[in-house]
Every structure is written in C-alpha cells, then in structure tokens.
Amino acid sequence: MTIEIDESQRQVILLALAHLAIERPGWKPMLKGIAEPMNDLGGAMFTKFYMLRLERVTNSLPDDPTNESLKTALRV
C-alpha cells in the first residue's frame, strides 16, 4: 500500500516519531527505522527533531524518575 503525503505532513510525522522516541526510549530503533524512508539527507530530520526534543526535556527530567514525574517532565 502506498500513501501519498505532502511535505508538511511528512515533517509532522517525523516530529511525532521523534517525540515518541523520547517518551519510549526502547522504541527508538524501531521508530528510527520507520522514519528512515521518510527522511531526507540520510535521516537528518528525524535526528534533528529527536535532539531538539531531548534538549528541551533533559533539564526537566528528575534524577530518579517515576512514571508520574516522567509524564510531568515530558509535558514541558
């Protein structure tokens, strides 16, 4: 099956996959694999979105995270 999407939709999907990779670290390899066919420049967009989100939440993550504290931090 082929799905046609425009550039803005592609970027939103990559951003959502990167955001989910932060929330579910164990899923990152799978999500990156899904993102690779949609990426340009060898995966640069997914990686950039991932790093931007990681930078944003890194300072708000607790030293000893619980499920609740992670949920709160990731809503920043």
SS3 helix, strand, coil % of the chain, rounded to 5? 70, 0, 30
End-to-end CA distance of the chain: 36
The C-alpha atoms of residue 63 and residue 27 are separated, in whole angstroms, by 22
Percent of the chain with pLDDT over 70: 79
The C-alpha atoms of residue 32 and residue 50 are separated, in whole angstroms, by 10
CB atoms under 10 Å from CB of 21, counted, come to: 23
Q: pTM above the 0.85 mark?
A: no
Name the band, by pLDDT with cuts 50, 70 and 90, for residue 14. Answer: very high
**pLDDT, tens digit, for every residue of 17-41?**
999 998 888 899 999 998 988 876 5
